[in-house]
Structure 1
Amino acid sequence: MIRHLVLFKLDEGVDREEPRVAEGVAAFRALGGQIPELRFWECAWNITDRPIAYDFAINSAVEDTDALKRYLEHPAHQAGVALWREFATWVIADYEY
């Protein structure tokens, strides 16, 4: 199994209550039911307010590297990424467990 972690940081001046942010969150929340390769899916806002904290997180799992590739290329995932690209940056980690 591969764990796929993503941490998002909203751009300076972007508020999580903005409609475009809400649209991005909704797009990512829906992915768990849209992409068959996902074996585990959760995403949520960070509940702490620390200077080093990121704002939003995805924690997911797929079976193997082929499944990860299919997930990353899936049209629903790409559509969500396009939304987030407009107002945030992110870091990722993929590891086997």
Structure 2
Amino acid sequence: MIRHLVLFKLDEGVRRDEPRVAEAVKAFEELGGIVPELEFWECAWNITDRDIAYDYAINSAVADRDALKRYIEHPAHQAAAGRWREFATWVIADYEF
């Protein structure tokens, strides 16, 4: 199995309650039921406000590297990630467990 973690940081001045942010969150919330490669899927806002904290997180799992590639290339994932590109940056970690 591969764990796929993503942490998002909203750009300066972008608020969580903006409509475009809410739409992007909804797109990610729906991915778990759309992308068949996802064995595990959860996403949520960070509840801490420390300076080093990121704002939003995805914690997911897929079976193997091929499944990870299919997930990343899936049109629904590409569309959801594209929304976030407008107002956030992110970091990822993929590891086998």
> So what's the TM-score if we normalise by structure 1?
1.00
Q: Name the aligned partner's letter for residue 49 of structure 2.
A: D
Q: Percent identity?
A: 80
- Secondary structure of 1:38's counterpart equals coil
Query: Residue 14 of structure 1 aligns with which residue?
Result: 14
Q: Which amino acid aligns with 2:20?
A: R
TM-score (norm 2): 1.00
What is residue 39 of structure 2 aligned with on the other side? Answer: 39
Question: Where do 1:1-97 residues align within 5 Å?
Answer: 1-97=1-97
Task: Extract unaligned runs of 5+ from structure 2.
Answer: none
Q: What is the Cα-based RMSD across aligned positions, in Å?
A: 0.2
Deviating beyond 6 angstroms after TM superposition, the runs of 4 or more aligned structure 1 residues are none
Aligned residues: 97
Query: How much does 1:18 deviate?
Result: 0.2
1:67, CA displacement in angstroms? 0.1
Describe the superposition over 1:6-33 as per-residue Cα deviations: whole angstroms up to 9, x where unpaired: 0000000000000000000000000000
